[in-house]
Amino acid sequence: MKRQDITEAKKKELIEKALEVLPNSYAPYSNYNVAAAALFDSGNIYTGVNVESASLGATNCAERNAIQTAVTNGDRRLVAIAVVGGMHGDPTGAYCVPCGICRQVMRDFADKDEMILISAKSAEDYREYTLEEILPYSFGPESLD
């Protein structure tokens, strides 16, 4: 599946699925709730939320939770991901974007020039980037060849 194959309706579906699970986020320490919905080339969509830990280092991000669930279910090629979030679960503030660790994990499962990152406040208000745009000069699986 190529970037141009992902319709506006599919983008909105991803955003809506992320918004749907946002209340499930567990962020009692930062109060910054995040949710993600990841589309894989199989057509399957996996959601995830951030889950914080008192030790903070054991915290897992929404994007990685969604990707890890996909991998658990046998999917390996990420084509798009929608990310929503904000303080106290309010996604209408600044656009929520993945942290550096999540960007690197995406790089292992996506074509950097084709994968779409959708950073959304709502299904109507979002920004779109390729992985290459948010992670330039990246280190990927081919770097190990």
| DSSP codes of every residue in 9-77 | HHHHHHHHHHHHHGGG-B-TTT-EEEEEEEEETTS-EEEEE-B--TTSTT-B-HHHHHHHHHHHTT---
Active site members: 63
Q: What is the pLDDT of residue 47?
A: 98
Q: Is 131 helix (H, G, I), strand (E, B) or coil?
A: helix
Whole-prediction pTM: 0.95
pLDDT digits 0-9 by tens, 52-89: 999 988 999 999 999 999 999 999 999 999 999 999 99
Q: Is the pLDDT of residue 139 over 90?
A: no
Do 97 and 134 form a contact (C-beta atoms < 8 A)?
Answer: yes
Query: Tell me, what's the pLDDT at 101?
Result: 95
Identify the residue with better confidence: 21 or 5: 21
Query: Does the structure show a pLDDT above 90 at 2?
Result: no
Q: Give the pLDDT confidence score for residue 77 in this predicted structure.
A: 96
Q: Hey, is 104 helix, strand or coil?
A: helix
pLDDT at 1 over 80: no
Measured CA to CA, the distance from residue 48 to residue 61 in angstroms comes to 8
* Chain position carrying tokens 């141009």: 4
Q: Backbone phi, then psi, for 44, in 5-degree steps?
A: -75, 145
Residues across the chain: 145
Domains of the chain: 3-133 (3.40.140.10)
Distance between CA 47 and CA 24 in Å, rounded? 11
E strand or H helix that includes residue 80 = strand 78-87
Which comes out higher in pLDDT, residue 84 or 140? 84
Taking only the tens place, the pLDDT of each residue in 97-136 is 999 999 999 999 999 999 999 999 999 999 999 999 999 9
pLDDT reading at 3 higher than 80: no
